[in-house]
Chains A and B, each alone.
Chain A
Amino acid sequence: MIMRAGQNQPAAAREEQQKSEIPFNFTSQIVHLHKDHSLFEVGDVNRHLYLQDLYVCETDAPNPAVSVSQFACHISGCSAVFIALEEYEHHYNSLHRHVCCSCRRSLPSARLLDIHIQEWHDSLFTILAQRQDMYQCLVEGCGEKFRTSQHRKDHLVKIHKYPPDFRFDKPKKDKRAKETTRLQQKDTEMEVTEEVCDSEGVCEVLCDVLCHHPESGESMEMHVSEKEANGMTNHASGTEQSSEPPRPEYFNRVPRTVCFGHGSVRGFRGRRGRRK
Chain B
Amino acid sequence: MENSDRSQMWRLTRLRHKNGKQIASCSEEMRVKRRENEKALRQARRDRQLVSKRLLLNEDEDISMETIPADQDVVSLLHKLQHSGPERETHLKALSKALRDSSAQLTFVNQENSMHLLVSFLTGSNTQCRLHAIRCLHELSHSPHPSVAPTCLPATSYLLTYLSGQSTKFTELCLYTLGNLIPDSDVVKEKLLAQGIIPALASCIENQRHHLAVVEAASFTLSQLLQAKDAAETIMSKVLVSTLPSQLLSVLTPDPQFGLAPAIECAWCLHYMACSQNGKELLACGALSKCSSLLWSLGCAVREGNQDEGLELLVCPLLRCVGNLLSFCPANSLTDQVGDVKLVVALSAFVQAYIHSRPALARESAWVLNNLTAHSTDFCSALLTHNLVPALIQSLAFSEGINTMILRVLANIANKKKEFCVELVQQGLLSSLCATLKMADAEMVTLSLEVLFMLVSSSPQVTEEFVRLNGVSLLEAIQYNSEGEMRRRAAYLLEHHLVFTSSSCTTKT
Chain A residues at the B interface, C-beta cutoff of 8 Å: 2, 4, 6, 8-13, 16, 22-36, 39-60, 64-72, 74-77, 81, 85, 88, 92, 96, 110, 218, 236-239, 248-251, 253-254, 257-258, 260
Q: Which residue of B lies closest to A214 (CB)?
A: B482
Partner of A31, one of B371, B396, B495: B371
Cα separation A53 to B358 with both chains bound (whole Å)? 19
A76–B482 touching, CB < 8 Å: yes
Q: How many A-B residue pairs have CB under 8 A?
A: 251
The residue that B50 contacts in the complex, of A44, A66, A260, with Cβ under 8 A, is A44
A43 to chain B, nearest CB (A): 5
Q: Is the CB of B458 within 8 A of A10?
A: yes
What are 22 A-B contacts with C-beta separation under 8 Å? Answer: A6-B374, A35-B271, A43-B364, A45-B50, A48-B50, A51-B52, A53-B23, A60-B31, A65-B356, A66-B355, A66-B359, A68-B397, A69-B441, A70-B440, A74-B481, A81-B440, A85-B438, A237-B480, A237-B487, A239-B495, A253-B509, A258-B480
A59 / chain B contacts, CB cutoff of 8 Å: 357-358
A47 to B436, CA, bound (A): 33
* Residue numbers in B under 8 Å from A238 (CB-CB): 479, 484, 487-488, 491
Write the nearest CB–CB distance from B312 to chain A, whole angstroms.
8
B interface with A by C-beta (< 8 Å): 12, 15, 18-19, 21, 23-24, 26, 31, 34, 37-38, 41-42, 45-46, 48, 50-54, 220, 227, 264, 268, 271-272, 275, 309-310, 312-313, 316-317, 320, 323-324, 326-327, 355-364, 367, 370-371, 373-375, 396-403, 408, 411-412, 415-416, 418, 435-436, 438-441, 444, 447, 449-451, 453-454, 457-458, 472-473, 476-482, 484-489, 491-492, 494-496, 499, 502, 505, 507-509
Instruction: Name the A residues within 8 Å of B494 (CB-CB).
Output: 251
Whether A24 pairs with B507 at a CB distance below 8 angstroms is no
A107 CB, min distance to chain B CBs, angstroms: 14
In this complex, what residue of A is CB-closest to B440?
A72
Question: Complex Cα distance A52/B53, Å?
Answer: 7
CB distance A23 to B485 under 8 Å? yes
Please give the distance in Å from A262's CB to the nearest CB on chain B.
Answer: 12
Asked whether A56 and B507 contact (CB < 8 A) given A43-B316, A72-B439, A238-B487, the answer is: no
Q: A35-B275, A59-B358 are in contact. Are A236 and B320 (CB under 8 A)?
A: no
Contact B457 A10, beta carbon cutoff 8 Å = yes
Contact between B398 and A69, CB atoms less than 8 A apart: yes
Within the assembled complex, what's the spacing in Å between the Cα atoms of A43 and B363?
Answer: 11
Q: Are B320 and A33 in contact (CB under 8 A)?
A: yes
Given contact pairs A56-B24, A237-B479, A249-B502, A47 touches B313 in the complex (Cβ within 8 A): yes
In angstroms, how far is the closest chain B Cβ from the Cβ of A57? Answer: 4
Closest-by-CB residue of A relative to B42 is: A45
**Partner of A54 from B37, B264, B482 at Cβ < 8 Å:** B37
Q: Is the CB of B399 within 8 A of A70?
A: yes
Cα-based distance from A49 to B499 in the complex (angstroms):
57
List B contacts of A2 (CB < 8 A).
327
Report yes or no: B438 in contact with A26, Cβ–Cβ below 8 A: no
